Amino acid sequence: MTHPPAGSSSNASSPDGGGALVILGRADAALYGPLRAWISASNLAEQALKAGDDAPDFFLPDDGAHLVALRGLLEKGPVVLCFLGGSWCSFCIAKLKALNAALERRAGPAATLVAITPETGSHPRRMRSANQLRCVVLSDVDYGVGLLFGVILAVPPAIVAEMGSRGLDLARLHGVAKPMLAAPAVYLIERSGRIAMARLDLDYMTGADTEAMLTALERLG
**Hey, how many other C-beta atoms are within 10 angstroms of the C-beta on 11?**
12
pLDDT computed for residue 11 by the predictor = 43
pLDDT computed for residue 30 by the predictor = 75
In a domain, 45, yes or no: yes
Strands 185-189 and 195-200, how do they pair? antiparallel
**45-64 pLDDT, tens per residue?**
899 999 999 999 999 999 99
Task: Tell me how far apart the alpha carbons of residues 216 and 117 are, in angstroms, rounded to a whole number.
Answer: 24
In a domain, 87, yes or no: yes
In a domain, 97, yes or no: yes
In a domain, 113, yes or no: yes
Write out the DSSP string of 95-161.
Answer: HHHHHHHHHHH--SS--EEEEEES--TTHHHHHHHHHT--SEEEE-GGGHHHHHHT-EEEPPHHHHH
| Residue pair 53/189 in contact by the 8 Å Cβ criterion | no
**102-114 pLDDT, tens per residue?**
999 887 778 999 9
In a domain, 8, yes or no: no
Task: Tell me how far apart the alpha carbons of residues 156 and 82 are, in angstroms, rounded to a whole number.
Answer: 23
pLDDT computed for residue 144 by the predictor = 97
Write out the DSSP string of 37-65.
Answer: HHHHTSSHHHHS--TTSBPPP-EEEBTTS
Write out the DSSP string of 181-201.
Answer: EE--EEEEE-TTSBEEEEEE-
| Residue pair 139/159 in contact by the 8 Å Cβ criterion | no
Mean pLDDT of the chain: 87
Q: Taking residues 190-209, what's their average pLDDT?
A: 93
60 forms bridges with which residues in the sheet? 68
Q: Taking residues 57-74, what's their average pLDDT?
A: 96
148 pLDDT exceeds 90?
Answer: yes
In a domain, 196, yes or no: yes
Cα three-residue angle 139-2-125, rounded to 5 degrees: 25
Which of the four pLDDT bands, split at 50, 70 and 90, describes residue 17? Answer: very low
| Residue pair 202/185 in contact by the 8 Å Cβ criterion | no
In a domain, 2, yes or no: no
Domain containing residue 95: CATH number: 3.40.30.10
In a domain, 6, yes or no: no
Distances (CA, A) of 64 to 25, 128, 139: 27, 11, 10
Q: Tell me, what DSSP letter sits at residue 163?
A: H
Question: Range of 130's domain?
Answer: 21-220
Q: How many domains does the chain have?
A: 1
pLDDT computed for residue 215 by the predictor = 92
**161-182 pLDDT, tens per residue?**
989 998 899 999 999 999 999 9
